[in-house]
Structure 1
Amino acid sequence: MASHRRPKQPSRARVTVVTATAAAAVALTSQAAQADPKPSKSEVKAKVDKLSHEAGDANEQYYGAKEKQQKLEKEVGALQDKVARGQQEINTLRNGLGSLAAAQYRSGGIDPSVQLFLASDPDSFLDQASALDQLTAKQTETLEKIQEKQRVLAQQRKEAQDKLGDLADVRKTLGEKKKKLQGKLADAQRLLNTLTVAEREEMREKDQRASRAAGDRVDLGNEVPASARGAAALQAASTQQGKPYRSGGTGPSSFDCSGLTQWAYAQAGVNISRVTYTQVNDGPRIGRSALKPGDLVFFNNTSHVGLYAGNNTVLHAPYPGTVVRYESMNTMGSFQFGVRIG
């Protein structure tokens, strides 16, 4: 017989739980939407500027590692050349030693008294016997040379091997720095992409107008440069205002911070090194109160460099997305020290 029982209705408690769960899901969805609103244009700019500063620091670290790599590659190449030349010298000495030994063996194959008896010219034989004695002394000298060259060669090979180990470490560091630099730039670009094309263009034009206005109204005072070379470097850099920052840029169409300072001093006839971490050692260090126009000025743990222009102002290539411009030292972060180029 078929059952005619009525289906069991859900309890009031179960309905309440389901309803509460649905309400919670709606609330969480609403909160998530509210927690991740589209950033405003000013917020995007602030975040992009921060990332660009960090990218500028990463850029100097990357090119610092690259410069170290290039230096090590030259050192390794020079050592390997020395090793190759040393081995060739040893091979030449060994070949000569083998010829001497063969000559002695051939000469020693007949008793000297028999050789004297058979000699058609005894005086000639005696001259040859004397030459054999000289060959023995020369052979000893050759052996000593080989031993000494082998010691030097072993030392050079070890030095080259150590340098190759250092080079491998630097290449690994280089890859990490490059990845960090690219990551910062990519993050900044993703933020910029949240803006419309018109908003991005407006932001770019606003930055350019601000840079031009800063250059037009800059008051450098009347401070006297410490040297004619410093004055010439500053003058050269001033002609590059408005040129864009580019990672690895060394001029004349674009610059990074240390690329600008290196280029400027090259125009003054002075060769300085490539990145901030080596430019810090290109001259004596000086404090803020001793700065003169043309001095190098370092900021933010020496990750950034510019040229002191006078009246608490720096001429520099700030970071990606900006141009070469004058800027107050008060807005540039932590001042480290200045370096005076002779």
Structure 2
Amino acid sequence: MAAHRRTGKRTAGGRTARAAATVALAGAAAATGLDGPALAEPQRTPEQVRADVAQLYREAEAATEKYNGAKEKAESAQRRLRALQDETARGRARLDDAREALGSVAAAQYRGGGLDPALQLVLTDDPDGYLEGAALAERVGSRQKAQVGRVRSRLREIEQLRGAARAEAESLTSHRAELERHRKTITGKLTAARHLLADLTPGQRDSGAGQAARSSADAGAGPAAPVSVTSRAPSARAAEAVAYAYEKIGSPYVWGATGPDAFDCSGLVQAAYRSAGVALPRTTYAQIAAGRRVARSELLPGDLVFFYSGISHVGIYVGDGRMIHAPNPSAPVRLAPVDEMPFAGATRVS
């Protein structure tokens, strides 16, 4: 019996340890709704809760960049599909013209003594049957042969367009499914973060990094870029991008947003350079390859600075070790030190 009691004690302790580890890593306990003595855990400090929230925001931002990439691919597939559909419609018109011309020849031949079997085959509504029996066209005259060849070419053109359109439709469906997966990941992470923050008092939520973010925004929402900053930019376009970023200080963070009133991190960078006439890719992992890589010691205002091993966050460098970026849903667009996150690289946009 004593041995039996000891075994039970170890099992209960194992459950408690596992539950506490799960909460510490992902804030999962707040999202599950489970409670009771079996899942009791020591009260965590506000600092620990804020650390969990920060981790959830980082994971949500990584998913946001994947969402942005999938959205870009879906929109591209949609454009290609529409173009193929338009081209198919034009191909049908060309086919109708070719068949009408061939029909005129066929009518004249019929009046002159009957319709050649090859022309009967070409004028059928069964393109596959026509293509399989196209060898019969060799028996018609040179003028008829050329017209039969045009019809055959138009039919093959339409079949190729149909095949390409089917492939694009399948690609579009796949990208839309990927979008939905990333959307669910993002909303799940943000919901878990909100649940964790709900356990803190307003003062606890505002302390630390959150307070710094709010203070920065409140102190100078949308200021003009200092001449001392823009004058050091390596190009006029970089200076314009920096000026745009300064104007957007205080704008809210919204995942998937590219302005003009709300942004996510890569959306802010894209919008800033778009205002300067430069088209940048949508995602952080594409933006880092959109210019010339520069060392951290060589940074100039307008350079793009990237963070974390997965290149999941980006800001615009403005000099003196600072950047402007869209942090996460807890803070608006703001000025911040470059060294507040793990630095991953930098790019200078030409």
Show the counterpart of 1:167.
172
Partner SS for 1:253: coil
Residues 139-158 of structure 1 correspond to what in structure 2 (within 5 A)? 139-158=144-163
For the pair shown, which has the larger CA radius of gyration, 1 or 2? 1
Partner SS for 1:69: helix
8 Å contact kept, 2:197–2:205: yes
Partner SS for 2:301: coil
Following TM superposition, by how much is the alpha carbon of 1:44 offset from its aligned partner in structure 2, in angstroms? 1.3
Structure 2: distance between partners of 1:63 and 1:313: 26
Show the counterpart of 1:234.
242
* More displaced stretch, 300-309 vs 58-67: 300-309
Partner SS for 1:335: strand
Partner SS for 1:337: strand
Residues 137-216 of structure 1 correspond to what in structure 2 (within 5 A)? 137-196=142-201, 199-200=204-205, 205=211, 207-209=213-215
For 1:59-114, what per-residue CA distance to the aligned partner results, in whole angstroms no more than 9, with x for missing partners?
A: 111111111100111001111211222123113312321221121110236xxxxx
1:330 paired with 2:339, answer yes
The 3 A distance-change label for structure 1 pair 290 and 244 is same
- Partner residue of 1:244 out of 244, 249, 252: 252
The 3 A distance-change label for structure 1 pair 287 and 205 is closer
Show the counterpart of 2:124.
none
**Structure 2: gaps of 5 or more residues:** 18-36, 115-139
Partner SS for 2:335: strand
1:271 paired with 2:279, answer yes
Show the counterpart of 2:47.
42
Structure 2: distance between partners of 1:257 and 1:30: 38
TM, length-normalised to structure 2: 0.73
Show the counterpart of 1:318.
327
Following TM superposition, by how much is the alpha carbon of 1:194 offset from its aligned partner in structure 2, in angstroms? 1.7
Show the counterpart of 1:61.
66
**2:149 alignment partner AA:** E
**Structure 1: gaps of 5 or more residues:** 1-12, 110-134
Partner SS for 1:292: coil
**Identity fraction in percent:** 37
* More displaced stretch, 42-51 vs 271-280: 271-280
Structure 2: distance between partners of 1:305 and 1:30: 39
The 3 A distance-change label for structure 1 pair 161 and 206 is same
Show the counterpart of 2:100.
95
TM, length-normalised to structure 1: 0.75
8 Å contact kept, 1:51–1:185: yes
8 Å contact kept, 1:297–1:339: no
Residues 211-226 of structure 1 correspond to what in structure 2 (within 5 A)? 224-226=232-234
8 Å contact kept, 1:55–1:181: yes
The 3 A distance-change label for structure 1 pair 43 and 33 is farther
Structure 2: distance between partners of 1:197 and 1:232: 38
The 3 A distance-change label for structure 1 pair 144 and 275 is same
The 3 A distance-change label for structure 1 pair 281 and 71 is farther
8 Å contact kept, 2:230–2:243: no
Structure 2: distance between partners of 1:17 and 1:256: 57
Following TM superposition, by how much is the alpha carbon of 1:172 offset from its aligned partner in structure 2, in angstroms? 1.7
Show the counterpart of 2:21.
none
* More displaced stretch, 306-315 vs 65-74: 306-315
8 Å contact kept, 1:56–1:318: no
Partner SS for 1:50: helix
The 3 A distance-change label for structure 1 pair 207 and 328 is closer
The 3 A distance-change label for structure 1 pair 244 and 165 is same
Partner SS for 2:306: strand
The 3 A distance-change label for structure 1 pair 169 and 30 is closer
Following TM superposition, by how much is the alpha carbon of 1:153 offset from its aligned partner in structure 2, in angstroms? 2.5
- Partner residue of 1:280 out of 272, 283, 288: 288
8 Å contact kept, 1:223–1:310: no
Following TM superposition, by how much is the alpha carbon of 1:309 offset from its aligned partner in structure 2, in angstroms? 1.2
Structure 1: distance between partners of 2:64 and 2:230: 34
Pick 1 or 2: higher relative contact order, CA cutoff 8 A, min separation 6: 1
For 1:108-148, what per-residue CA distance to the aligned partner results, in whole angstroms no more than 9, with x for missing partners?
A: 36xxxxxxxxxxxxxxxxxxxxxxxxx95432221111222
The 3 A distance-change label for structure 1 pair 206 and 315 is closer
- Partner residue of 1:70 out of 69, 75, 78: 75
The 3 A distance-change label for structure 1 pair 333 and 201 is closer
For 1:256-290, what per-residue CA distance to the aligned partner results, in whole angstroms no more than 9, with x for missing partners?
A: 11121122123323333333243334334334344
